[in-house]
Structures are given as structure tokens and as C-alpha cells.
Structure 1
């Protein structure tokens, strides 16, 4: 059962961009968590720098995903 709040079918372009944006969101979240918590990752950063850089990447992922979900008023 599909929940569509706009009560209209998404175009194939919009659907593809949603899937691609979701995949990018998941990849960026995983990358941020890897940088923050995986000590075997070969980065020459201090622990606080790793956590800050990982948090920055996770924040970027959230920003990107929110832009994907935002409905463009000029779309269609």
C-alpha cells in the first residue's frame, strides 16, 4: 500500500531522483559513521577531528536528503 500525501502519481524522473537521493543519503550516513567509529580506517586525524568530520558528513547527508524531499513548485 503506497502512501502518497499529494494524491498524485510521481513522474518517473521524480521517482528515480528520490531513489537515487535515498541511496546517496544512506551511503553518506554510512561513510560518516565509518569515519567516526572505525579506528582501522587509514585517516591521520585526531579522535575529535574524526568525530567532527563524520558529523559534518552526516549533516551534509541530512541537508541533501531534505532537498530531495522538498517539492519543487516549478516541477511539472
Structure 2
């Protein structure tokens, strides 16, 4: 079973891109939530605009999460 684990290890480049993708996902999602729910930010937007922009950022974060954790054909 452990030899099967070693056969499926990702290369250093793919691991780095995975970590970078997860960091981007977290930053975009947290930024979207901050825009939506933090009233202390000095944004010249109405409440509806803030919710729309924040919602788009959160939706983009969810889209990125599906793209990051999707199984690649070479991973099978």
C-alpha cells in the first residue's frame, strides 16, 4: 500500500501550484466576505453594490475551488 502512495506523489511544480491555488482561493474568498460584511471599509458603494461585488468574489472563489480539486486525467 505504501508503494502505491509513492507512485502517486505529485511533482514539486504541481505541489507548488496547488499551494498557490489554495492561497489564491482563500484570499479571494476572504476579500469577498470582507467587502460584503465589514462596514468599516471606506468604499464608495451602496449596500447592494457591496453585496454584488462581494458575492461575485465569493462565487469566483467557489469556482476556483472546484477547478483546483478536480481530478486531472494524468492523476488517475
**TM-score computed with the length of structure 2 as normaliser:** 0.78
Partner of 1:29: 29
Give the unaligned 5+ runs of structure 2.
Answer: 1-6
Matches within 5 A, 1:51-70: 51-70=51-70
**Shift, 1:74, TM fit:** 5.9
**TM-score computed with the length of structure 1 as normaliser:** 0.78
**Shift, 1:64, TM fit:** 1.6
Tell me, in whole angstroms, the C-alpha distance in 2 between the residues paired with 1:34 and 1:47: 13
CA RMSD of aligned residues (A): 2.0
Partner SS, residue 9 of structure 1: coil
> Highest Rg: 1 or 2?
2
Matches within 5 A, 1:11-50: 11-50=11-50
Greater CA deviation, 41-50 or 63-72?
Answer: 63-72
Aligned length: 70
Give the unaligned 5+ runs of structure 1.
Answer: 1-6
